[in-house]
Each structure stands twice: as C-alpha cells, then as structure tokens.
Amino acid sequence: MKGILGRKLEMTQIFSATGELIPVTVIEVLPNSVLQIKTQEKDGYTALQLGLQDKRVNLVNKPNMGHFKKANSAPKRFVKEIRNMDGYNIGDVIKMSDLFIEGQLVDVTGVSKGKGFAGVIKRHNYQRGPMGHGSGYHRGIGSMGAIINRIFKTKKMAGHMGAERVTIQNLEIIKINELRNLILIKGSIPGPRKGFVVIKENIKGLKNVEAVKLLNRKDNVAEATEA
C-alpha cells in the first residue's frame, strides 16, 4: 500500500486535447516526512507514520516534541499512519512523484464539512407532515418505536451532521505538477478548502487507465500564429 498526505486547495476545470471538460480538485502535496516505522514484531502491524506541514514549537507539548525529535524532524501539523507501507527509514522525505503517476486510480480520505446540529429532515431525508394549520405534525421525528422506556440503537434522530471521515474511491489522477507540488484529481473529494487529506493507491486493485492528454494552450496559440 502506498500513500501520502496532502492539503485540499480548491476545485477547477481543465480541458483535454479532444476538448472534453474535466472537473478536478487541486491538492497541494508537499514532501512528507517519515516520523515512525511500525513493525509486525513490535506493534503487531506494519505501517509508516507520515507528517505534513511544519508547526510552531510553542504549539506542541513535550511528549509530542520528544516524538518529533526522535525522527530529527520539525513538529508537524498533520500526522497520519499509512498501513502496510514500507521501504523507507525514519527521517526520509517522500514526494508524490515517487508514488503516483498520471492515470493512476487512488482513494482519497478526508473529513467532510461540518453542518452543525440538524433535524431529521435535513440529516436523514425524512418527509415532513402536512403544513396546514390544522395539522399537529410538521417537521417532527415521527414514531419513536415500541413504548419500553428506551430508544433502540441505530434510531435515526436529529444530531450532529457532517464532520465525518469519508473516503472516495477510484479517483483518477489527471495531472501531477512536481514544480508546484500539486496533484489534480478528477472529481470532488471530501472536506473544506485547506483541509488535510490522505491519498492512497486504490484498495480494490484496479489497473491504471491511460493518462489524459491535456490541451496545451501555448501550442494552440503558436499554431494559430503560424497559420
């Protein structure tokens, strides 16, 4: 399993050489630092702990500061483990170009946008009651089940909506810009702007697709000028 940490910037659109419009999400993937190596013998599983984006020292407590010093790394703002990933040592720097190529299918995990406290109509798509003045039921939750003085588990009720860990699978990498540390992935991914995400190779093992040839605007201008 290969993976790397990134930060969602925004969505935009690009055009293929055939004129097809492709909606893409722009993710900034700065070099990741390897902070810790988990092994089967010591930890019971294999994983790499990666860190992204430096953090001010005064925002880090002493235990975490000691953890970063062991890896000879500056404190990191976003730290995650990638299971079943090996081949690196503590202190190594991982770049996106070392792991992914254009046309590869990946899974992207992030935390969805929080919607606050929401009722059952917005949260679970319940249907409202009649809105006439004579009705005594408008946007209520409905029946609560059997009268046994308790609520059954999994009962859909009002509550905190969003801010959940979400994974979108089999998204295609359209473009990798090593110079600006950007990766363009087709479609939308969870989370707000500047939210941290984890990019992994697709767990279903789907084969890579043919890389999309993008429209080169400079070449088009040159051809038009020559004509």
pLDDT, one tens digit per residue, over 119-159 is: 999 999 999 999 998 998 999 898 888 888 898 899 999 99
pTM of the model: 0.85
Domain identity same for 59 and 70? yes
**Could you tell me the residue range of the domain that residue 153 belongs to?**
117-162
Residue 93 pLDDT > 70: yes
Domain identity same for 12 and 99? yes
pLDDT in tens, 59-91: 999 999 999 999 999 999 999 999 999 889 999
Look at the alpha carbons of 187, 191, 193, 197 in this order and tell me if their dihedral is positive or negative: negative
What's residue 227's pLDDT?
A: 40
Q: Which of 106, 129, 162 is the last residue of a domain?
A: 162
Domain identity same for 135 and 212? no
Domain identity same for 62 and 19? yes
Lookup: tokens for 201:
């190779």
Domain identity same for 220 and 155? no
What's residue 146's pLDDT?
A: 84
Domain total in the chain = 2
CATH number at 76 reads: 2.40.30.10
Domain identity same for 86 and 126? no
Domain identity same for 131 and 100? no
CB 32 within 8 A of CB 52: yes
What's residue 23's pLDDT?
A: 95
Residue 174 pLDDT > 80: yes
Residue 192 pLDDT > 90: yes
From residue 58, alpha-carbon distances to 35, 62, 136 in Å are: 19, 10, 56
Domain identity same for 97 and 139? no
Domain identity same for 70 and 174? yes
How much is the average pLDDT of 115-119? 95
Domain identity same for 35 and 109? yes
What's residue 218's pLDDT?
A: 58
Domain identity same for 83 and 108? yes
From residue 83, alpha-carbon distances to 1, 39, 196 in Å are: 7, 10, 18
Domain identity same for 84 and 176? yes
